[in-house]
A and B are shown apart, each in its own frame.
Chain A
Amino acid sequence: MKFKYLVLIASAAGLLASCKNNFKSLDTPTAGEADFSKYVAIGNSLTAGYADNSLTRDGQENSYPNMLSQQFKMVGGGNFVQPLLPGSYGWPSAKYTLGYQTDCKGVTALGPIPNPAAADTAGSSNRIGNIDYNNLGVPGIKVAHLGINGYGVFNPYAARFFRNPSLQTPLEVFLAQSPSFFTVWLGSNDVLGYATSGGEGNVGGMGTADITHPELFKTMYDSLVNNLVKGNAKGVLINIPDVTSIPFFTTIDRNGATVTAEEANRLNQHYRDLGYNHISFKAGQNAFVVEDDRVGVRHIEEGEFLLLTIPANELKCNGLGTMRPLPKRYFLDAKEVAVIREYTTLFNQTIQDAARKHSLAYMDASAFMRTLSSGFSWDGVKYSPTFVTGGAFSLDGVHLTPRGYALVANQIITVINTYYNANIPYHDVNKYPGIKFP
């Protein structure tokens, strides 16, 4: 009889002890067919970790390649060295921060303002090109620049960490190492400069505001990838997002010219006097008035974009966009938008062809950004391309927040896992702060 009690008590105690969760059967990370022992990231500002209109040490530490390298370490990844800046206020210019500004009408509103602290100067321009870096993101670089000898002299970021800035081409720098795994996210600047200048550049030019000639793009891009895969390296080629979907172009409302009935009459009279009978304002919201080569002035139309860089006070108090038409550098007209899309598609075709040819993984960043537009959630947070509150884009409206970069890193992991049959865990997006609100 007593024995039975003892059995009962003993088995109850046994069950109590086995109450701990152990996750014994949980999957473990695997590298699949890829070898992450030496990972090199090639790209532009997005790869460098640029955010809030500048590059900082924090931004570099929160770059998507650095995040990826941390995940790769769980599947045999090696050390990942970045050309870190010393300071966290931005270099060469100060980063943006969120703060209050009082506009010309006396309205105090929250918006991006240059960080009150000065930009980082001490030590930022020091040459540190004596070692190899794994993150080769160079803010501002285009595919068109890859073959320019001495490019480092003209780009302060390149000058810092290229071994020999005045005698090397970026291509040589990018190919100087033999990675076992690489990511390439290049090409955005080959169209972005044209877009952020309001379409003021030309197609085929080499200037900041120009769109790269598609043949030059293909030649340079192919020679980069052809050489990267030589040692049997594997990698991911990432395409160019639709630049017109970023907050830099979508934040200022096309129909933001709000006027009273009296003001509308005055504006209509003004434009009639100048012979522009097609300009018509009514009380309430109106489409802004812009310059036009063909008809002189007109209202901005759907499918055209206003740039985030338009001086807000000029819009609000000095008649810009109403009494004074917006100059062409402040908006993208339908033709320019078509040009941007046409060349983005061409460049992306080149990128995708290269991925196919060399059996490399291809990440459709353009499609990913589109999912962001339709509302995208990760770990309980909803992201959108909305400026400031959307959570993914930093205060410059072009580059991403640390959480935005983490989303990109995880999307790349998804692509790697699928293409290389790997099982790499996702990076923790929520460990990074969102945009800080006062």
Chain B
Amino acid sequence: MTAPDDARLLSVAGSISNGASVDWDRLSAEERDADTSRVLRELQAVERIVEFHRGAEPTDAPTAEDTMPSDSTAPRTWGHLTLLERIDKGAFGSVYRAHDPKLQADVALKLVPLGEDRGLDPSRALKEARLLARVRHPNVVRVHGADVIDGRVGIWMEFVEGQTLTTLLSARGSLGPREAALMGADLCQALAAVHAAGLIHGDVKARNVMREAGGRTVLMDFGTGKDLRLPPRVAAGIDVAGTPLYIAPEVFRGEPRSALSDVYSLGVLLFHLVTAEYPVPGRTRAEVEEAHTRGAHIRLRDRRPDAPSAFVDAIERAIAIDPRERFQSIGAFEAALARFLGRADTPAHAPSAWPRWIAAGVGVASLIGAAYWAENRGSKTAPPAVTARAPVDSGAAAQPAVYRIDTALYKRRDSGETRLRPGDRVAPGDELFARLRVSAPTYLYIVNEDDNGESFLLFPLPGQAVENPIAAGTPVRVPGTRAEDTTWQITSAGGREHFLIFASSERLQAFEELFAALPRPTFGKPVTSSKLSEGALGKLRGVGGLTAAPPAAPGARLASIFTSPLGDGEETARGLWVRQLTVENPARP
């Protein structure tokens, strides 16, 4: 049983209440406690209820049409199953969440209508489903059964709660080599079990892989699975599905799918996970096929110069044009990934003290944190403890990019603008904004904190014209440019105001998660403030590379952690760059 005071749940609830985005993919993937996972799942439902009432379309939620079997052709029951909601819809039918009273559990039901020239032979589909039911592996979705009822072929299987890798990628951006290799190793084992059952998958792609709440990687959707034991020409005759970007070149040439074409597809998937691109690009099947014909092939090394060679070599071999040059079994592919992971798995300091839910974000951030420490070597609060802390992607421990940054805060009053410098005064009625110019795409975060530790997020804000990453080369004004005079306005006085400006060449997942709990200004609405918890401050200290992430001392403030003052003029930065500007906001100016 989770407590209502669970800090993490409260943080998520606060974000929902504030309309801030929540990284559900990562939360669900990294949550280990079953009770908390269930509550998180319900909080996600609550978020949709809140969004509905706010009149905002959920950005990453299925539309009403997609979630309910409410169209006139959709059944409410199918056989002994009760349909609860539609969770996916594709060219070959729909997938529903359904309740199985016999199993006393929810299941995923894939329904494919017959008689619409879908190239589906019901007897063959049933045979495939029965073959799939033979596969028993934790990384393969468990098939419970199949039948033809009411003109629909249905296959019902384990209901996996989580996110597809497509969703994961869109939410988090490309993954690091190590995380991709870990998923790849799981998928190799899944495919090995499929191949051992005499089947090939035939449609390995990001959308067909789920990352379950709890972190399990599950291979899904055997809609085009093929029986390896069938004569090749029969199998080739129904090769109508599959995403061209993942299809092996020999399949384009008319050869049947095989275990080696599954190796190719998995290689493409891992390439895609670390680059968000495909090795042989194209917008249509014809374009991809033509690219294969002329040998157009993006090299992984060109896209990820930071990736370890062992990883690059494994992927390039998996996606070799000539099937004879590929790994000759999925097991050989897994062994290559394991060798890479074996090297990457032995960092000097494992991040065992870190909660798993933040570890993924800290991976990049702690790398950057090391650079932060390096450039702040003179700071009295900068012991080198964390510089050796192993990030998640230690195998890809490239130096963060160098970039130039020039930023300043301005006060506007009575139509005049004044650049703010440390110790300057502000007063209620003053309108503030920042100007920024960076030499490379940069992620920017600005937090305001007062002497009581009350803080809120000033940037990034939803609905603004300026978003992260900040574009390189052109002057940018924040908050946003939705209207000419968008500003942060001071509405009351007392004490000092600390502005913490964080910039990074990489997105700071950990920061975003921690800052998600902070209130932020909205147009015409009152602003509330709150304190970052001591636990969160401890994490930030770790992220900043300053401590080994113990709980922050009572009364600790962001302003007391990140003390480098904002100066005049352009600076050269590597990785994370943090500056503080403190101004006076006395009760009687």
A binds B: no
